[in-house]
Structure formats: C-alpha cells, structure tokens
Amino acid sequence: MPIISGREVETYKVSVFESSNLSYDRSMRLVLKPSGGNASHIVDVEFPASAPADFVSIGNTISTVKIDRAKFEDMVRMLQTESPIFFSAFEFNALRFAGLSTDPEFTGEGLMDADSAA
C-alpha cells in the first residue's frame, strides 16, 4: 500500500492557467520535508472540474493527486494562513485518500478580526 503519512509541507507553488491539452486549469506543487530517513518528496496536485476515481498516484519521489476544482481555494487558504501544514495520501486497492491538515490548535486562532488592534 503506497502511503505518504503526515509529511510536513516545506514549500509550495500555485498556478492558474489556460491550456488546450490539459483537463485542469489550476495546480500546485508541494515539496514535502525530508522525514524519518526519507528524502524530500514532490506532490503535484491537479484540480480538474471533478476528480477521477483513481485520483492518487504515489511514486518514490514524485506523486500526483487530482482533487476536485471546488477545493482549490480552501487548499490555497490553508497554505497561506496555517503553519505547519501536513500532507497525507494513500492508495490501497479501491481505497484512496489525499489531503492537507494542520496541528491541533486552540479555539479562536486564525485570521485577525479586521476591527481588532494589532
């Protein structure tokens, strides 16, 4: 069972574009930190209109994940506002998973209210 378990995102790149030969027009590249003797890992995330059934493909150093376009803004917002961010994915027979997560946080953390003093 290929698995990426809670690897911290070190850097990311977000792209929005038009293409005549791709099924998506948004993408991001996540570079995961080395962990437990594993080297850095690259995850290319593509955002088609709807994700296919086989949306996870995990390789030794590069993986590709296809996530429904509707989740693009949520993922970008997490990457911009949360730290640290972790990426996990697995594929086992017909079971697949891919997603971002944060460490546990106290309630009330997040974006500062516009009317609060800095």
* pLDDT of 107: 79
Residue 13 falls within a domain, yes or no?
Answer: yes
pTM tops 0.75, yes or no: yes
Domain residues for the domain of 25 are 3-102
Which contiguous run of DSSP H or E holds residue 31?
Answer: strand 24-32
Number of domains in the chain: 1
Residue 118 falls within a domain, yes or no?
Answer: no
* pLDDT of 103: 87
Write out the chain's pLDDT in tens, 118 residues.
Answer: 789 999 999 999 999 999 999 999 999 999 999 988 888 999 999 999 999 999 999 999 999 999 999 999 999 999 999 999 999 999 998 899 999 999 887 777 666 555 555 5
Could you tell me which residues are beta bridge partners of residue 7? Answer: 87
Pairing of strands 85-92, 24-32: unpaired
